[in-house]
Amino acid sequence: MVSFSVKYIEYFGDITPIVLQSDNGPCPFLALINILLLRHMISLPIDIKSVEFDYLCTTVIDILVESHTQLDIDQLKYTMLDMQRGIDVDCGFKNIYDITISSEIDIFKHFGINFVHGWVVSTYDTYYYPILYRFTYNKLMDQLVLYQTQGTTDGSNNESELSSEEVDIVNNFIKNYSSQLTEEGLIQLVTNLQENELAILFYNNHCTVVLKYNKELYCLVTDIGYRENSCVWEKLDNIYNDTSFYDDKFQKYTAEMDDIKLPSGGKGTKKIARSTWLSKVGKNTAKISSKTCNSPRSSGRRRSKCQLM
């Protein structure tokens, strides 16, 4: 039976539970649940330490069916199970809402939750925009595959829409913005999200809860390693993974607050560049795990997919 650990935080004056992600946790599903908990649209029994997937799934479906009577219960169950395994996220590069709709993303919309990303190119960018605006990420990968294989398959007339120069530009973009966040994307997120809005952000191949508070962006920290300490929010104010962390009152967090070492992450971890933490943990730089949600393709390219590895 799949279950998730529960942590209690203060959220604008209310003590609220959030569910945490273990090594194999389904980040899109947990992001949905945590927004519903923070909005008080669902609740958990008092003082529980863990909650089962089936309970959360049933709760979400009950709310959806009550407010959207036309929805098919069996289809919702299949969709929720698919969300537990992962969702295919196909981003376009025009704006933060440019994401191909799927049945899983439709569930977010039923709850009035925006699903956004920051892999955005400015219309004023004469280097990247003329190429990237024509494709979504998955279609762009298909064009790269065609370019690499065109003329090598007998009888094939398929040719890539990309020139050799454009292929170099695309590869440069993917390399420079591999975290799926650009300067323009960060600007659009801050500009377009409403004050105190909770949204689901696709970033670093991971679905996370993002909050706009005092005109700044904060991502909810749900790594299981932070269950016993007061680190709750990670500020998102640059594209370089140079992050700072905050408690549930939005005061800057340091390890000394809990007098413990920060947890170490697994695959796809990010270094935390904070001198106060480094003095605590020494050479073993503290890390948090960021679920790598990729699906390898035969070409060696990867689709953007939040899924269990």
Write out the chain's pLDDT in tens, 309 residues.
789 999 999 999 999 999 999 876 789 999 999 999 999 999 998 889 999 999 999 999 999 999 888 889 999 998 998 888 888 899 999 999 999 988 889 999 999 999 999 999 999 999 999 999 999 999 999 999 999 988 665 555 678 899 999 999 999 999 999 999 999 999 999 999 999 999 999 999 999 999 999 999 999 999 999 998 899 999 999 999 888 999 999 999 987 777 655 554 433 333 333 333 223 223 222 222 233 343 322 333 444 555 433
Residue 136 falls inside a structural domain: no
- pLDDT value at position 151? 62
Residue 146 falls inside a structural domain: no
- pLDDT value at position 277? 28
- pLDDT value at position 84? 82
Residue 297 falls inside a structural domain: no
Residue/partner pairs of 84-87 with CB below 8 Å, 24 or more apart:
84/2, 84/26, 84/29, 84/53, 84/57, 85/26, 85/307, 85/308, 86/26, 86/28, 86/293, 86/305, 86/306, 86/307, 86/308, 87/28, 87/207, 87/305, 87/306, 87/307
- pLDDT value at position 219? 98
Residue 103 falls inside a structural domain: yes
Residue 128 falls inside a structural domain: no
Residue 69 falls inside a structural domain: yes
Number of domains, the chain = 1
The pair of structure tokens assigned to 220 is: 């909810």
This prediction's pTM: 0.83
- pLDDT value at position 13? 94
- pLDDT value at position 154? 55
From residue 75, give the alpha-carbon distance in Å to each of 42, 107, 117, 145, 241.
Answer: 21, 11, 26, 34, 38
Range of the domain at 52: 3-119+180-288
**Cα 274 to Cα 234: distance, rounded to the nearest angstrom:** 12
Residue 263 falls inside a structural domain: yes
- pLDDT value at position 255? 76
From residue 70, give the alpha-carbon distance in Å to each of 75, 102, 103, 112, 224.
Answer: 11, 18, 15, 17, 37
Residue 125 falls inside a structural domain: no
**Strand 86-88 versus strand 14-19 pairing type:** unpaired
From residue 254, give the alpha-carbon distance in Å to each of 176, 220, 229, 286.
Answer: 30, 16, 10, 12
- pLDDT value at position 306? 53
